[in-house]
C-alpha cells in the first residue's frame, strides 16, 4: 500500500528527541508535553524564565543566532531516531552562508541611498529576529539566502567601487 508503519514507540522517541533539542536550543522552561498549556501560559513561562535568568537567556539567544548564521552550525546532536548528527561536510556547506553574510553587510552603507537594498534586508532581518527569539535551525534561513546572495553582490560591488575611488 506504500504506507510506512512506524515501530511501536518510534514516534514517541522521535518527539522526545525533537523536544529535547528544541529545549536545549531555545533555553526555555516550557513543557511541550503539557497538552493543557495555552499559548498565553506558555508565553508567560517563556518571559518569566528569561526575566529570572537573563544571562542564560541572552546566551541562548546568541547560540540561536550562531545556529542561524554562524560559520560552523551545531550538529553534534541527533535530529531524530535513525537520523545521524550532521557530518562535517554538511556543516561546512551550511557555513557558506557566513561569508555571504559578511559580504552582504558591506551593502549596509547603501541603505540610505537604495530602496532596493532596504527591501532586500527586511526579510533577512525579520527571519533573524523571529528565529533568534523563538527557535533557530539553519533551514529557516533558506528562503532568504537568495536575497543574501544579491546583497553580497551589492556589498562586494560597493566595496570594489570605494577602493577604486581611493586609488
Read off the DSSP letter of residue 83: B
Q: Which residues contact 81 (CB under 8 A, 6 or more apart)?
A: 10, 13, 14, 17
pLDDT score at 37: 77
pLDDT digits (tens, 9 = 90+) for 108-148: 988 888 899 999 999 999 999 999 988 888 888 999 999 99
Predicted local confidence at residue 18, as pLDDT: 43
Q: How would residue 98 be classed by pLDDT, with cut points 50, 70 and 90?
A: very high
**Spatial contact of 167 and 118, defined as CB atoms under 8 Å apart:** no
Share above pLDDT 70 across residues of the chain, in percent, rounded to a whole number: 75
User: Confidence band (pLDDT; 50, 70, 90) for 14?
Assistant: very low
Bin 133: left if φ > 0, else alpha if -120 < ψ < 50, else beta. alpha
Confidence of residue 151 (pLDDT cuts 50, 70, 90): very high
Cell of 94: 551550511
Task: Give the residue with greater pLDDT, 132 vs 80.
Answer: 132
Instruction: Give the largest Cα separation in the chain, rounded.
Output: 70
Of 65, 18, 26, 15, the C-alpha closest to 49 is: 26
Q: Rounded CA gap, 96 and 72, in Å?
A: 9
Give the pLDDT score at 17.
46
Most confident of 19-23, 56-60, 146-150: 146-150
The pTM assigned to this predicted structure is 0.69
pLDDT tops 50 at residue 52: yes
Give me the pLDDT at residue 28, please.
Answer: 53
151 CB neighbour count, 10 Å cutoff: 25
Query: What does the pLDDT read at residue 129?
Result: 95
Amino acid at each position: 500500500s506504500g504506507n510506512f508503519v512506524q515501530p511501536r514507540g518510534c514516534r514517541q522517541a522521535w518527539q522526545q528527541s525533537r523536544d529535547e533539542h528544541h529545549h536545549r536550543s531555545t533555553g526555555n522552561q516550557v513543557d511541550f508535553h503539557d497538552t493543557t498549556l495555552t499559548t498565553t501560559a506558555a508565553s508567560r513561562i517563556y518571559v518569566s524564565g528569561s526575566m529570572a535568568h537573563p544571562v542564560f537567556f541572552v546566551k541562548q539567544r546568541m547560540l540561536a543566532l550562531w545556529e542561524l548564521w554562524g560559520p560552523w552550525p551545531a550538529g553534534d546532536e541527533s535530529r531524530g531516531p535513525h537520523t545521524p548528527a550532521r557530518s562535517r561536510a554538511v556543516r561546512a556547506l551550511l557555513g557558506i552562508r557566513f561569508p555571504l553574510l559578511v559580504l552582504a553587510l558591506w551593502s549596509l552603507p547603501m541603505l540610505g541611498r537604495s530602496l532596493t537594498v532596504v527591501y532586500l534586508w527586511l526579510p533577512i532581518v525579520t527571519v533573524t529576529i523571529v528565529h533568534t527569539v523563538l527557535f533557530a535551525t539553519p533551514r529557516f534561513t533558506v528562503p532568504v539566502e537568495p536575497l543574501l546572495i544579491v546583497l553580497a553582490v551589492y556589498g562586494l560591488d560597493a566595496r570594489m567601487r570605494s577602493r577604486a575611488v581611493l586609488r
